[in-house]
Amino acid sequence: MKKIKACTDIDDASNVFIDPLVFSNILLKQLRRDVLNYKGDLRTALEKLREYVLKASKEQMTVYAKITPVSGKWSIRALLMKDQIIGLIWEEGRSTRVGIVAYDYLFNELYEKNPVVKLRASLVPLDSVPQELAEYITRCIREKEKLRPPELWIKREVYGFIVDRLITSKGAYMYVLLGRDSFGRKYAIKIPREKTSDGKPLAIGGSVEPLAEVIRGLLNALEVYFSNRESLRRILMTRGYDESLADYLVYYRNYILRPRAILLLRDVYSEEEYSEIPPVIVEEYANIGDLEKRVKNRPLDDRELAFLAIRVTGALALVHANQFIHMDIKPQNILLTESDEETYGYRPMVSDFVGLPHIFERATELKKTTPEYADPLALLRGYATYSYDVYSLGTTLYYAFTGMKIKTRLLLNLLILKNLYGLPVPLKVFLIDNPNLVSVAKKLEAIFSNYIARGKKLPIDSLLASISATLADIDEEYMSPLNKLPERLGSIIRRSLSLDETRRYNDSIAMWIDMLDALKEAGYRHLIPHRL
């Protein structure tokens, strides 16, 4: 059944509706014609009421409805128009619930019990409704008509979850909303966008593949989360690592954000279906926000960085042990949720996997890039390995400690995307904001111009050598804040950021093993989330 929706102002409107003068006025204005009377189960009663309200709306009529059980112990009074409940009151003896609280009770607890009820509904001309209440009706109807995703789901029920507010609509692929279940527990309700931020069809129209890729990413997260020691032992041994590390590595699934539910009723959605039964992913609610928000408040000191680094590196090691590449590690995808069990009161979780298949050949096509965190080596070569995630993690840890992005590497990635991929990039704006990099940009542009003029036949290693030589001095200026870290911890982050492929870690497993030793060496053994 399509449930009748709650007006966004249902709480305020209900407080007006419950006023005795307003309520009695509505009762006096009821029309005697076309009255709906029904006795039967609640679900059928609500469906008949919805049909009645939609028919009445064509005549610009509101509907007053009263529902009581055959036992007569409680009553529900409602004022409706179109497919919205404007005001709602539930009464039982001296107990009263109004607005969204009454709505939750009706469409969750009572709806599940489905008691036998008596329904009486009658028409009330809109121009007969008291002015203050009529203003709420008009506002609700107007807002509904102009609402677009994601606002149209706010203060609505979506698959049994009441959506309270929008968390963010800035993601390229997802709207993220805050929802709660009938027990009051909070969740992140993620709904794939109609189109991606660059205008490509996602949930509405197009083919099934874009939405399927999103779902694959979620399934990858589930597979990583449910890793077991036996499979990890086999993989570690095959990759040349000590198989006993599986006993510790499996612990890091606690730092993988997995979906709690995936609701996908269509392969591709029409606009109406998308509004009424959208694709939904339910995840744990990260009530602190993400790492970017945390760092904007204050960058991490070396001790808290070590706390964060060992957990995220271990989580990513688990991803690589399961033969996946995340491909979108960045501060926005490290979510933080409160935890009394953790030293700093929060648990970091790796989220938003790109939907890639298993990496059996240790390389895959590039799917997504965030220029600030993308691996320049992968962009130059046109494919990604586990090393891609190592670099992205390094830039994320650098940001967490300094509160800054590595501008030299961002410049390099912008120039690669511009010259080798033909993509529009905000290079002029970047150089206006970073005038100290103008001369470096000119030198790099000359290198790329020469490479293109030679038909892109210069070996990538030779191109990379020229780029590295050009960046060497100014790169070191940006890396110097890492000198403030305990020596080994700083050297691990430096190594993860190396433009020398032979020096950088091949995968996050090797980086995690080094990180364990670094924490012990720095006297931070207590920050390791398991005993060695």
Say whether pLDDT at 142 is over 70: yes
Secondary structure of 289-321 in the HEC alphabet?
EEHHHHHHHCCCCHHHHHHHHHHHHHHHHHHHH
Q: Using CA atoms, how far apart are residues 508 and 505, in angstroms rounded to an integer?
A: 7
Torsion of CA 178, 268, 193, 272, to 10 degrees: -70
State the Cα–Cα distance between residues 428 and 39, nearest whole angstrom: 70
Q: Looking at this protein, which amino acid is placed at residue 255?
A: Y
Whole-number percent of the chain with pLDDT over 70:
97
Average pLDDT over residues 4-10: 88
pLDDT bucket at 457, cuts 50 / 70 / 90: confident
- Report the share of the chain in percent with pLDDT over 90: 79
Question: What is the average pLDDT across 29-48?
Answer: 94
Q: How far apart are CA 222 and CA 55, in angstroms?
A: 46
Sequence-ordered list of residues with C-beta below 8 angstroms from that of 336, at least 6 positions apart, any chain: 286, 288, 289, 290, 291, 294, 346, 347, 348, 349
Q: Break the chain into its structural domains and give their ranges.
A: 5-146, 288-527
User: H helices of 58-169, where?
Assistant: 99-104, 111-113, 131-146
- The answer to whether 178 and 163 have CB atoms below 8 angstroms apart is yes
CA angle 93, 6, 22 (to 5 degrees): 55
pLDDT grade for 188, boundaries at 50, 70 and 90: very high
Provide the pLDDT confidence category of residue 155 given band limits of 50, 70 and 90. Answer: confident
Mean pLDDT calculated for residue range 294-300: 97
* Contact assessment for residue 228 and residue 363, using Cβ atoms and an 8 Å cutoff: no
What's the average model confidence in pLDDT over 478-491? 97
Taking residues 337-360, report their average pLDDT.
Answer: 89
- Structure confidence at residue 1 (pLDDT): 45
Separation CA 22–CA 500 (nearest Å): 76
DSSP code of 374?
S
The pLDDT score that the predictor gives to residue 2 is 60
CATH 1.10.510.10 fits 288-527, yes or no: yes
For residues 390 and 378, is the Cβ–Cβ distance under 8 A? Answer: no
How many CB atoms sit inside 10 A of residue 479's CB? 16
Q: How distant, in Å, are the alpha carbons of 77, 273, 292 from that of 85? A: 10, 21, 39
Q: How far apart are CA 291 and CA 110, in angstroms?
A: 41
Residue 237 tokens, joined: 């041994």
Q: From CA 118, how far away is CA 72, in angstroms rounded?
A: 9
**pLDDT, mean of residues 460-488:** 96
Mean pLDDT of 378-400: 96
pLDDT band (50, 70, 90) for residue 362: low
Tell me how far apart the alpha carbons of residues 472 and 444 are, in angstroms, rounded to a whole number: 12
Structure confidence at residue 367 (pLDDT): 63
**Average pLDDT for 169-190:** 93
Three-state secondary structure readout of 356-419: CCCCCCCCEECCCCCCCCCCHHHHHHCEECHHHHHHHHHHHHHHHHHCCCCHHHHHHHHHHHHH
What mean pLDDT is predicted for residues 40-49? 95
The residue type at 154:
I
Using only C-alpha atoms, the chain has a radius of gyration, in whole angstroms, of 29
